[in-house]
Amino acid sequence: MFNIILFGPPGSGKGTQSQKLIEKYQLKHLSTGDLLRSEIAAKTPLGLEAKAIMDKGELVPDEVVIGMISTALENNMEARGFLFDGFPRTTAQSEALDKLLQLKHTEINVVFSLDVSEEELIKRILHRGLTSGRSDDMNEQIIKARIIEYHKKTSAVAAYYQQFNKVVQIKGGGTVEEIFSILCKEIDNHLS
Ligand code: AP5
């Protein structure tokens, strides 16, 4: 199995690059943001609780997202590998993921950290908000709250994987194709 984490602040291109990478490398895409939005669309109790938190730009409790990822791993063990997008987002989530993967006799191979300026992040998300229907995309205050939450809780995830030398920094300010090409070169190096 080959397992990747795509890591970076809101709007850094995790979802965009994930779509291209899963197609090229035949990986299973696991996005906690997408899983939570499915719960919201289905109006489940979990979805209703999550929506209130997401609309404030805050993080959903660790146990909720860890439970969702655990189930998704269990249901997809035939996959060639996993691409984690938007997970893990805290040190507790990182430790839980490592344990879950160990139980499956696999591990994270590489963490790509996408680095994009805050000005560009806000511009991208506001632009997407014109059509995405995501309530957390439409208001600059909420977008800024998401970025603050990232610096407060999520940037620690890079430090966690740094201790195992698994983090590769990627300049994420270029075009979608430029960044995709850099990611592919890095993955091909890891695979060879
Ligand atoms: P989530 O859905 O994970 O959103 P996010 O991390 O805030 O990231 P985005 O989807 O906004 O951005 P992205 O990096 O994927 O960029 P994208 O490719 O879309 O999380 C939403 C919420 O759910 C969280 O706030 C939290 O409440 C909750 N949540 C989720 N996971 C959680 C967890 N593990 N724990 C706790 N809570 C959790 O690109 C953005 C835009 O830019 C697009 O329009 C795209 O077309 C454009 N774009 C992309 N790349 C480029 C480029 N190179 N040049 C120009 N434009 C570009």
| Per-residue pLDDT tens digits for 1-37 | 999 999 999 999 999 999 999 999 999 999 999 999 9
Residue 90, SS3 per DSSP: coil
Sketch out the chain's domains with CATH numbers.
Answer: 4-187 (3.40.50.300)
Tokens, residue 101: 């993967």
Task: Grade residue 138 by pLDDT with cuts at 50, 70 and 90.
Answer: confident
C-beta of 146 in contact with ligand 1 (< 6 A): yes
Within 8 A by CB and 6+ apart from 175, the residues are: none
Task: Grade residue 165 by pLDDT with cuts at 50, 70 and 90.
Answer: very high
Return phi, psi of residue 161, to 5°.
Answer: -80, -20
Report the pLDDT value the prediction gives residue 12, as an integer from 0 to 100: 97
Task: Grade residue 119 by pLDDT with cuts at 50, 70 and 90.
Answer: very high
Ligand 1: atom nearest CA of 146 is: 25
| Per-residue pLDDT tens digits for 102-115 | 999 999 999 999 99
Q: Tell me what the mean pLDDT of segment 87-91 comes to.
A: 97
Residue 10 CA to ligand 1 centre (angstroms):
4
Residue 15 CA to ligand 1 centre (angstroms):
6
Q: Tell me what the mean pLDDT of segment 151-165 comes to.
A: 95
**Whether the predicted pLDDT of 117 surpasses 90:** yes
- DSSP-H helix ranges across 89-175: 91-103, 118-129, 140-149, 155-162
pTM above the 0.85 mark? yes
Q: Tell me what the mean pLDDT of segment 49-76 comes to.
A: 95
Residue 5 CA to ligand 1 centre (angstroms):
14
**Alpha-carbon separation of residue 16 from 61, 81, 160, 168, 180 (angstroms):** 25, 18, 24, 18, 9
Within 8 A by CB and 6+ apart from 140, the residues are: 122, 126
Amino acid identity, position 111: V
What angle in degrees, to the nearest 10, is found between the helix axes of 32-41 and 62-74? 100
Question: Which DSSP state fits 104?
Answer: T
Ligand 1: atom nearest CA of 114 is: 14
100: phi > 0 → left, psi -120 to 50 → alpha, else beta; which? alpha
**Whether the predicted pLDDT of 152 surpasses 90:** yes
CA 68 and chain centroid, separation: 14
Among 60-64, 65-69, 131-135, 151-155, which stretch is predicted with the lowest mean pLDDT? 131-135
Say if residue 105 is exposed, middle or buried (CB neighbours under 10 Å; 0-12, 13-18, 19+). exposed
